[in-house]
Amino acid sequence: MMMLPVKVLVVEDEPSLRDFLCRGLAAEGYAVGSAADGPTGLVMAGSPDVDCVVLDLMLPGLGGEEVLARLRLSRPNLPVIVLTARDGVADRVRTLDAGADDFMVKPFSLAELTARIRARMRGPAQASAALLDVGSIALDLHGRRAIIGGVREVQLTSREFGLLETFMRHPAQVLSQQQLLDRVWGRQFESSTSNVVEVAVRSLRRKLGESVIETVRGAGYRFVG
């Protein structure tokens, strides 16, 4: 029987960020719905086909904290990941105590968000999904480590890990610099003003081998493993 994709509901009032999240999550294989205000988000989140909610706190009509509180009454087991510009410890504690499953501060990377969604959706039947294996490289998503040829472990920074995970989820596919920026670094970087992708790719090549990532002139990069 064909399994339906995980459906993520994005509740975010900023149009550009909402569009960014919807496009990025859809590119990662999720079914995506969206709402621009609290009341609409609450109604949509009540649908049984919604598997996870990405929830902004500053929403018109009904604040995100109130949406969260009502969701905990109607759907207590629905995973909710809160996005907010508030980064104080008290804000984190209050939001988690209110029932959020996870908490991310803006700006954030799409790769980290999708990793947190996978973690919240992970069950016993998904244990095998904790290892990506392409060519000679294995990526342990739980332990956050790369293993080369089954024997050599390589230490990666969080950005390098996010970049490698993105490549390994799209083997042999050409990914543009802007796609990689969106997925790993988030919206705060623009391809025309930053060389962070080039620097990170060079670093991965030094650690994993020069041939694992190809440069496709004028198009981007391709992971070959």
- Gap between the Cα atoms of 40 and 62, Å rounded: 9
Domain membership flag for residue 157: yes
Q: Does some domain include residue 87?
A: yes
* Residue of 192 and 69 predicted with greater confidence: 69
Does 140 lie in the same domain as 110?
A: no
Supply the pTM of this predicted model.
0.62
CA-CA distance, 189 to 174, in Å (whole number)?
20
Q: Are residues 158 and 60 in the same domain?
A: no
User: Are 11 and 92 part of one and the same domain?
Assistant: yes
Q: Are residues 107 and 193 in the same domain?
A: no
Number of other CB atoms surrounding residue 152 within 10 Å: 10
Least confident of 28-37, 85-94, 155-164, 204-213: 85-94
Q: Which amino acid is at 106?
A: K
Q: Give pLDDT, residue 190.
A: 56
- pLDDT of residue 92 exceeding 80, the answer is no
Which residues span the domain enclosing 33?
7-121
The SS3 assignment for 78 reads coil
In a domain, residue 2? The reply is no
What are the structure tokens assigned to 6, written together?
A: 């995980």
Residue 170, domain member (yes or no)? yes
Do 139 and 69 lie in one domain? The reply is: no
Both 84 and 161 in one domain: the answer is: no
